[in-house]
Amino acid sequence: GAVVSQHPSRVICKSGTSVKIECRSLDFQATTMFWYRQFPKQSLMLMATSNEGSKATYEQGVEKDKFLINHASLTLSTLTVTSAHPEDSSFYICSARGDIPYEQYFGPGTRLTVT
């Protein structure tokens, strides 16, 4: 149980375009999902916390107008990178929290390359 999927696993897009990444909890309901990113040779960093039915909470330094998060249902959160630039190229990972306190289940990640 407790499987989280992400789609797509890899995406290459041109500078200036927008890219949407989906994060789904497949066999449980996730009231809270987290979005992280990892630049090459760096640690994972929390970008935002996504709560179903409410606005996401962004960490300091993360532009909310650039990284649009929508958590429209208990099984789906989406991250849209708007007007992507090469510096947005990164590995984006989501995690989802179920009913068990403190547990987080990670998705497989999405590698974004902006050319």
Partner 1 sequence: KNEVEQSPQNLTAQEGEFITINCSYSVGISALHWLQQHPGGGIVSLFMLSSGKKKHGRLIATINIQEKHSSLHITASHPRDSAVYICAVPLKYSGGGADGLTFGKGTHLIIQP
| Residue 98 sits in the site that holds partner 1 (CB under 8 A) | no
Indicate the residue among 17 and 42 with the shorter CB distance to partner 1.
Answer: 42
Indicate the residue among 46 and 68 with the shorter CB distance to partner 1.
Answer: 46
With 0-12 / 13-18 / 19 or more C-beta atoms within 10 angstroms meaning exposed / middle / buried, residue 102 is exposed
Indicate the residue among 34 and 84 with the shorter CB distance to partner 1.
Answer: 34
| CB of residue 16 to partner 1, shortest distance in Å | 25
Please give the C-alpha separations between residue 108 and each of 16, 57, 85, in angstroms, as whole numbers. 26, 22, 23
| Residue 8 sits in the site that holds partner 1 (CB under 8 A) | no
Sequential DSSP letters for 54-83: S--EEPTT--TTTEEEEEEETTEEEEEE-S
**Residues whose CB is less than 8 angstroms from the CB of residue 42 and which lie 6 or more positions away in sequence, other chains included:** none
Contacts of partner 1 in 15-54 (CB under 8 A): 31-32, 34, 36, 38, 42-46, 49
Q: Which residues bind partner 1 (CB under 8 A)?
A: 31-32, 34, 36, 38, 42-46, 49, 59, 91, 93, 95, 97, 101-106, 108-109, 111
